Amino acid sequence: MKNALLKGDLFTRLSFFIMGFGNILRKQIIKGLLFLSIEIGYIIFMIGSGFNNIARLISLGGKEQGEVWNEALGIYEYTKGDSSLLILLYGIATLFLFAGFFLLWITAIKSAYNVQILKKQEKHINTFLEDIKSLFNENLHKLLLTFPTISIIAFTILPLVFMTSMAFTNYSKIDNHLNIFNWVGLKNFAWIVNLNDSFGQTFWSVLGWTLVWAVLATILNYILGMVLALVINRKDTKIKAFWRFCFVLSVAVPQFVSLLVIRSMLKPDGIINVLLKSSEIIDKSLPFFSDATWARATVIIVNLWVGIPFTMLQVTGILQNIPVELYEAAKVDGAGPVKRFIKITIPYMLFVTTPYLIITFTANINNFNVIYLLTKGEPIQAGATAGKTDLLVTWLYKLTVENQYYNLGAVIGIMTFIILAIGSLLAYRRTGSYKNEEGFQ
């Protein structure tokens, strides 16, 4: 771009204002006309609605739906009001379109300057057909990456930016800000961390339980899954394939089916309580879902049933790759099974599976299925928006879908991402997998 501005000729410099001008005058007519048509289309769009979309993004509208009584017809007539949600969406989409046009503008200028250089050096200038053919040869990467990149921007990045921006508005049912809402800056973030407010108290309570749940679910699944894999893989274990098959059955059954079945079994009138009472082991039903401690213990134990087989499958192959000589040398030195497990197995496994542990920890923080399908966050106090077993992700669901606190839901989503991103990066950078990649090779 700098060379095009300083060293470009008149045609190239005019391409800064008329896209494709340099290409058209140097016989790349079709390519130049495509650039020009895109510029004309963009200008028409911006004049027609683009500038208005960006201007309204500042205020997010304010005109409410009008209601006027029509004496002649005897009915109310309504005039259309603003929808802040659509204004926000169109505004952000217009900004993304501007960014895309800006990149295309840079491409057009570079193309004009490159054609100038080729003509000055009396080299061959590609025709439009030759440019198309190059997309299947030396420029194949551009052809293969263009459409996936556009799709990611349109269907992933744009919605994420749109949802994230809601965290800085008052978009919620509070004071009826569902149709027309405004920017409030960081007010929602201050609100959600305020210990003197009910939402702030709920946030810190849910965050604490979420971290406890994620740590316990990750460590217990990992250790017990590894122990199970070791027991099955030892030399004295017979019919290893059969035992693996038995444990993998819980993986083969869809998780939502298993969780709903277990939920029905643990209800006050479920089969577990019925059998225990009929056997006169208990007098009244166990409070699997009505008591906070019981409910939290229940979800952790049930998660072990669901998660241990996954860990067993993950670590089985790695365990078989640990050099047998290490165990034999440890036996000669007098190390018992527990010491060999602590000194050899655990360090090797942690070195290899640290990225897997980080992914598992992240998945457990966002483990919507186990919590919502099993307990639905119960027990829940009257008037509360979150229960004692709710995670941040299930609370976010309730805030948005059930209670229409869309701004607070967006804040929870952002804070969950920040916690996970910072925690994952710090944890990984301090592990042997990152610092000593060749350590076990």
Share of the chain above pLDDT 90, in %: 40
Could you give the residue ranges of the DSSP H alpha helices within 287-405? Answer: 292-320, 324-332, 337-340, 346-365, 368-374, 392-397
The token duo for 127 is 């025709």
DSSP structure string for 169-200: B--BTGGGBSSS--B-TTHHHHHHT-TTSHHH
Closest CA to 112 of 16, 2, 6: 16
Instruction: Please answer whether residues 263 and 353 qualify as being in contact, where contact means their C-beta atoms are separated by less than 8 angstroms.
Output: no
Q: Which pLDDT belongs to residue 356?
A: 83
* Cα 270 from Cα 288, distance rounded (Å): 11
d(C-alpha 441, C-alpha 429), whole Å: 20
Report the distance separating Cα 405 and Cα 402, nearest Å: 9
Q: Domain-by-domain residue ranges, the chain?
A: 2-185, 189-435
pLDDT confidence of 435, banded at 50, 70, 90? Answer: low
User: 290-295 — which CB contacts under 8 Å span 24+ positions?
Assistant: 290/378, 290/379, 291/379, 292/379, 292/388, 292/389, 295/375, 295/378, 295/379, 295/388, 295/389
The string of pLDDT tens digits covering residues 157-166 is: 999 999 999 9
User: Is the CB of residue 387 less than 8 Å from the CB of residue 377?
Assistant: yes
Asked if residue 427 has pLDDT above 80, the reply is no
Q: pLDDT of 82-103, one tens digit each?
A: 889 999 999 999 999 999 999 9
For residue 213, name the pLDDT band (cuts at 50, 70, 90). very high
User: How far does CA 374 lie from the centroid of its chain?
Assistant: 23
312: confidence class by pLDDT, cuts 50, 70, 90: confident
- Per-residue pLDDT, averaged over 318-335, amounts to 82
Superfamily, domain 189-435: MetI-like (1.10.3720.10)
Tell which wins on pLDDT, 75 or 59. Answer: 59
Residue 19: which pLDDT band, with cuts at 50, 70 and 90?
Answer: very high
Q: Given this model, what pLDDT does residue 307 score?
A: 85
The tokens describing 349, both together, are 């496994």
The pLDDT, as a whole number, for residue 32 is 92
**What is the reported pLDDT for 425?**
82
pLDDT at 360 over 70: yes
pLDDT digit string, tens, across residues 397-425: 999 988 889 999 999 999 999 888 888 88
